[in-house]
Amino acid sequence: MLPSERPQWSALLRHFRQLESRHLREYFAEDPHRGQRFSAEAAGWYLDYSKQRITDETLRLLLELAHACGVRERSAALFRGDKVNVTEQRAALHIALRAPRGDHIDERIVVDGRNVVPDVHAELDHMAAFSSLVRAGEWKGASGKRVRNVVNIGIGGSDLGPVMAYEALRYYSDRDMTFRFVSNIDGTDFVEAVRDLAADETLFVICSKTFTTSETLANARAARQWCLQALGDRAAVSKHFVAVSTNAEEVVKFGIDADNMFGFWDWVGGRYSMDSAVGLSTMIAIGAENFRAMLAGFHAMDEHFRTAPPDRNLPWLHALMAIWNNNFLGASTSAVLPYEQYLKRFPAYLQQLVMESNGKRVTVDGAAIDYHTAPVLWGEPGTNGQHSFYQLLHQGTRFVACDFIGFCRSLSLLGDHHDLLMANLFAQSEALAFGKSSAEVAEEGVPDELVAHRTFEGNQPSNTMLSESLTPHSLGALVALYEHSVFVQGAIWNIDSFDQWGVELGKALAKRTAAELAGGSEPELTHDSSTNALIRRYRAQRAR
């Protein structure tokens, strides 16, 4: 059944019409405790959602909708290891990747009759042993020199998580080592990444769940060629490659020793894999202990999500605010604004998590839907964004739902920078919520003809997420918060948040087109007239 056919959806629509014209200024004036009341805390994160355009009634109705849509049951199925990815008939058990090494019956997570928790820990131990060797300088390259450069080659979930986590946790990383991430099939990505690296000190981590992704394999072949040129023979090259994959057969076919492969499982989706062996580069950068602290952060949020009542539950609340903004208030985009430079790749990471998971237009049963699903997600760290696109947030015609993310303590002590940074975060959410009325502007003596230009409507909703400091633990908890929020939203929309069929058509067409670009003789083109003309023009100009 479509959620939009449920009486709870209609009730929310009626409720929306009643409070459509109400302003956040009024809500805060009516209730001096609103700021504390609409907040919740867990796993080291404080979520303030009081600047959302909601009342107690809104929250009650949203919870009713979520219950009617079976969010609780679906979440139980997720944790049980049911095949919640229905179109691919797979479990989505990323929560098992951070389950503690427990032997108790209630700590078992069973897939097809097998407790997967020991498998997870065996692989973590494998990663830890390897990472320690590399970090200690004991993993030697072909010339006998220590490996000090790590280049992760992967794309999508095999890149965005690792690069985001490396940047986020750079403070904790081994500063004597260099980490690079190559994803794009654009040759520039590889060429620039290795330009200043010595091959005999470089380790390539070829990261691909399927080990069939064309971009990754092309870059892996380029890396092998680059190594061969510098190091001479194939045997030498083998010391410079490891693989992370679920596909041992293809890894071996590529020429990487099965002993140098780190595995994971088909119940880990690419965009949910940064805490699996896909995080090998992260572990080499920050060490096994910090990596485990990150997993503990994920797990703390998992447990909170699993056990806390929905109205005190961060992922639930975050998801309900997203549904309210997206489906009732009409927000078309969602901005993630971390006031933390180390989180500069966090919006890019979330783009895949949110849009690949929930960018769907049919229900789990294949029925067409008549409501919006995932918003377009974008973002930049503050305060940089303030000097670029915030103008639109404050005075544009679009309605954008914002998430502000900040930390009470900085990792980079520098004068009063951190107070200034956080002052800006607090100021922005306040300005967006309350604005500045034309009366206030006029009172300041602004000339009549400029009053409209200098008025801020306000009433722009936002969440603020605060944690004490950016640590592996707080990062893990934050990512898990978003993972579960995405899940709750998908459950309400009744879609499969774990497949990604939408990426397939472009892949197939690119394969066919690549063959047409490759040949020397003019191919017979049977695309539409636009694509045919573009291909001809490309071939002609390339030849010149």
The DSSP code for 522 is P
Q: Looking at beta carbons only, is 88 or 440 nearer to ligand F6P?
A: 88
CB of 224 to ligand F6P, least distance (A): 17
Q: Catalytic: 356? A: yes
Q: Does 209 bind ligand F6P (CB under 6 A)?
A: yes
Question: CA of 281: how far to CAs of 66, 78, 118, 427, in Å?
Answer: 38, 28, 22, 37
CB of 167 to ligand F6P, least distance (A): 18
Catalytic residue among 123, 167, 201, 356, which?
356
Binding to ligand F6P by CB under 6 A, coded x per residue (else -) over 26-65, reads ----------------------------------------
The DSSP code for 362 is B
The piece of 6-14, 144-152, 180-188, 202-210 that touches ligand F6P (CB under 6 A) is 202-210
Q: Looking at beta carbons only, is 427 or 503 nearer to ligand F6P?
A: 503
CB of 235 to ligand F6P, least distance (A): 27
Q: Looking at beta carbons only, is 158 or 410 nearer to ligand F6P?
A: 158
The DSSP code for 444 is T
Q: Does 157 bind ligand F6P (CB under 6 A)?
A: yes
Q: Does 90 bind ligand F6P (CB under 6 A)?
A: no
Q: Catalytic: 121? A: no
Q: Does 437 bind ligand F6P (CB under 6 A)?
A: no
Q: Looking at beta carbons only, is 243 or 364 nearer to ligand F6P?
A: 243
Q: Looking at beta carbons only, is 251 or 432 nearer to ligand F6P?
A: 251
Residues 248-307 that bind ligand F6P (CB under 6 A): 270-271
Q: Catalytic: 387? A: yes
Element (H, E) at 491: helix 472-493
* Under 8 Å between Cβ of 206 and 254: yes
Q: Applying CB under 6 A, which of residues 8, 85, 173, 216 lies at the interface with ligand F6P?
A: 216
Catalytic residue among 5, 33, 104, 387, which?
387
Q: Applying CB under 6 A, which of residues 156, 279, 381, 476 lies at the interface with ligand F6P?
A: 156
Q: Looking at beta carbons only, is 326 or 351 nearer to ligand F6P?
A: 351
Q: Looking at beta carbons only, is 123 or 356 nearer to ligand F6P?
A: 356
Strands 45-48 and 39-42: antiparallel
CB of 159 to ligand F6P, least distance (A): 8
Q: Applying CB under 6 A, which of residues 85, 213, 290, 455 lies at the interface with ligand F6P?
A: 213
The piece of 122-130, 148-156, 424-432, 475-483 that touches ligand F6P (CB under 6 A) is 148-156
Q: Does 210 bind ligand F6P (CB under 6 A)?
A: yes
- Rounded distance between C-alpha atoms, residue 206 and residue 451, angstroms: 58
Question: If DSSP codes are grouped into helix, strand and coil, which group holds residue 359?
Answer: coil
Rg (CA), the chain: 25
- Rounded distance between C-alpha atoms, residue 225 and residue 204, angstroms: 12
* Under 8 Å between Cβ of 106 and 100: no
Q: Looking at beta carbons only, is 87 or 210 nearer to ligand F6P?
A: 210
- Rounded distance between C-alpha atoms, residue 424 and residue 381, angstroms: 12
- Rounded distance between C-alpha atoms, residue 339 and residue 420, angstroms: 11
Q: Looking at beta carbons only, is 155 or 492 nearer to ligand F6P?
A: 155
- Rounded distance between C-alpha atoms, residue 50 and residue 352, angstroms: 27
CB of 158 to ligand F6P, least distance (A): 4
CB of 345 to ligand F6P, least distance (A): 15
In the structure encoding, which two tokens stand for residue 96, read together?
Answer: 């098992």
- Rounded distance between C-alpha atoms, residue 117 and residue 108, angstroms: 6
CB of 253 to ligand F6P, least distance (A): 15
Q: Applying CB under 6 A, which of residues 85, 152, 173, 208 lies at the interface with ligand F6P?
A: 208
CB of 487 to ligand F6P, least distance (A): 16
Q: Applying CB under 6 A, which of residues 130, 477, 500, 516 lies at the interface with ligand F6P?
A: 500
- Rounded distance between C-alpha atoms, residue 451 and residue 455, angstroms: 6
- Rounded distance between C-alpha atoms, residue 204 and residue 151, angstroms: 5
259-266: which pairs have CB atoms within 8 A and are 24 or more residues apart? Answer: 262/123, 262/126, 262/127, 262/130, 263/123, 264/97, 264/123, 264/209, 265/93, 265/111, 265/116, 265/119, 266/90
- Rounded distance between C-alpha atoms, residue 475 and residue 342, angstroms: 11
- Rounded distance between C-alpha atoms, residue 165 and residue 350, angstroms: 12
Binding to ligand F6P by CB under 6 A, coded x per residue (else -) over 231-250, reads --------------------
Residue 72 — φ and ψ, nearest 5°?
A: -60, -45
Q: Does 464 bind ligand F6P (CB under 6 A)?
A: no
Residues 158-177 that bind ligand F6P (CB under 6 A): 158
Question: CA of 152: how far to CAs of 171, 183, 282, in Å?
Answer: 19, 8, 10
- DSSP per-residue codes, 85-152: BTTTTB---GGGGG--S--SGGG--EETTEE-HHHHHHHHHHHHHHHHHHHTT-SB-TTSPBP-EEEE
Residues 352-371 that bind ligand F6P (CB under 6 A): 356
- Rounded distance between C-alpha atoms, residue 209 and residue 264, angstroms: 8
Binding to ligand F6P by CB under 6 A, coded x per residue (else -) over 503-532, reads x-----------------------------
Interface residue list for ligand F6P (CB under 6 A): 154-158, 208-210, 213, 216, 270-271, 356, 500, 503
Catalytic residues: 356, 387, 507
